[in-house]
Amino acid sequence: MYKINFEKPVHVHFIGIGGISMSGLAKVLLKEGFTISGSDNKRSALTEQLEGAGATIFYGQKASNIIEGIDVVVYTAAIHADNEEYKAAVDKGLYMLKRSQLLGQLMRNYDIPIAVSGTHGKTTTTSMLTHILLAADTDPTISVGGILNAIGGNIRVGNSEIFVTEACEYTNSFLEFFPKISIVLNIDEDHLDFFKDLEDIRRSFRRFAELLPADGFLVINGDIENLDGIINGLSCKVITYGTDTALDYSAVNISHNELGNASFDLIKKGDFIKQITLSVNGDHNVSNALAALAVADLLDISVEESAEGLKKFRGTKRRFEYKGEVNGITIIDDYAHHPTEIRASLMAARHYPHREIWCIFQPHTYTRTKALFHEFVDALSYTDHIILADIYAARETDTLGISSEDIAKSLCESGMDAYYLPSFEKIEAFCLEKCKKGDMLITMGAGDVVNIGDALLKQ
């Protein structure tokens, strides 16, 4: 496999350079002196940033984009063998790297590569850890799967030996990584278009944990079921966190202020360390903060600096993000698209000032909707009113005989005030008619449901 060497910059071409992760990798290489080109289907803020930094961007994926001088081509899982740009690169005999392989290669250029994994919470935890590292003046390099104001985007290139990135389990991409410290936040049933079942997912996380060297560290949620199956026999040091004070790190006396933001007492090996105050809400974020605190402690960052960093973290875009108000209605947007995430976000919303909670949910992929149908119905019952938008197909085309209307019907049968509406325009008009002053309206999902809130705020 081709190996990226910061000491020998070459010309790297990205097919799909406008994605949140691909653009971040391109930015890292640009700042390390590499020549960067790439293609994407359309112009965006991310592609314009790259052009401004010196990258050559082609719009539309064509064979002619594979120009002379390219040394290696990077592509995403969304690029298939019949893609004409991909085929042109293969025909020219160029080195080919998957996005995950490039990310793994980048890790080899740092002494302390940190990988944040888990079915949920990767972006938030990576962002929390980023705030801690910045508060401690460690000058890290960061690759985060969202837009974080503290670093002015999705990437930060530092000058220290610390490199932090999210590590996604989908298509086993995180098995291409070379971490020294890994976090496992949770292991739930998801991505069933790739994995067979939960046990298959657990096997993948076990293999991810086995990547750590003997002098490495696994920071893992001690509340994960059948934890021993993940950690027994590992050569690395295992550090646990969670709700039980018998774990290495835990939180007690959790409380929420008038905005729903959480505070808790940090406990290390049974001893009180410090009260930690967050500027984000939800008990799930207390858990995420514990993971970040554990890693910070490994890096010898003081708890005072960690507490300062966490208090400054006010969330990332599309993670329970306050968007504004219209007619006295508070608009929140949230990326949650798995039942566990939905339940956590809706429970967190209860601590936020509101009269009643309206949730507009857009399911993400037919496969996930069909496989976790009953779990979706249960999770969506944690709101006062629920509106279902059509399923966002993403990479899929087969409907599998499932629809958003099926979820709405099942919720109605359970006594919920649930609706299915076939277009964003109808949903917007319905919300303006039904929502009252003091209500909270949450747009929720990993697709383009965010556009509904944006449209309402323009009314």
pLDDT, greater one: 189 or 57: 57
Label residue 258 by pLDDT band (50, 70, 90). confident
Per annotation, catalytic residue among 122, 268, 323, 370:
122
Label residue 442 by pLDDT band (50, 70, 90). very high
pLDDT in tens, 227-245: 999 999 999 999 999 999 9
> Cα 307 to the chain's mean position, in Å?
22
> Over 90: is that where the pLDDT of 414 sits?
yes
Compute the distance between CA of residue 451 and CA of residue 331 in angstroms, rounded to an integer: 12
Confirm whether 340 is a catalytic residue: no
Q: Which of 76, 91, 9, 81 is nearest to 40 (CA)?
A: 76
pLDDT in tens, 117-164: 999 999 999 999 999 999 999 999 999 988 888 998 888 989 999 999
Label residue 217 by pLDDT band (50, 70, 90). very high
pLDDT in tens, 302-319: 999 999 999 999 987 778
Per annotation, catalytic residue among 27, 85, 119, 123:
123
- The structure tokens 């507009």 sit at 360
- For 309, list phi and psi in degrees, rounded to 5: -60, -45
How many other CB atoms sit within 10 Å of the CB of residue 48?
12
> Cα 185 to the chain's mean position, in Å?
12
Task: Give the β-pairing of 141-148 and 153-156.
Answer: antiparallel
pLDDT in tens, 180-206: 999 999 999 888 788 999 999 999 999
Label residue 288 by pLDDT band (50, 70, 90). very high
Share of the chain above pLDDT 70, in %: 100
Task: Walk across the sheet containing 181-184 and list its strands.
Answer: 153-156, 141-148, 162-167, 112-117, 181-184, 217-221, 237-242, 249-256, 261-268, 271-281
Question: What pLDDT was estimated at residue 353?
Answer: 83
Confirm whether 123 is a catalytic residue: yes
Neighbouring residues of 314: CB distance < 8 A, sequence distance ≥ 6: 149, 279, 280
Task: Walk across the sheet containing 72-75 and list its strands.
Answer: 56-59, 35-40, 11-15, 72-75, 95-98
Distance set, CA 343 to CA 17, 90, 120, 379, 412 (Å): 33, 45, 12, 5, 18
Task: Give the β-pairing of 162-167 and 141-148.
Answer: parallel
Confirm whether 122 is a catalytic residue: yes
- The structure tokens 């990205």 sit at 14
Residue type, 193: D
Per annotation, catalytic residue among 85, 166, 169, 341:
166
pLDDT in tens, 352-362: 888 999 999 99
Compute the distance between CA of residue 147 and CA of residue 272 in angstroms, rounded to an integer: 34
CA 192-195-200 angle, to 5 degrees, is 130
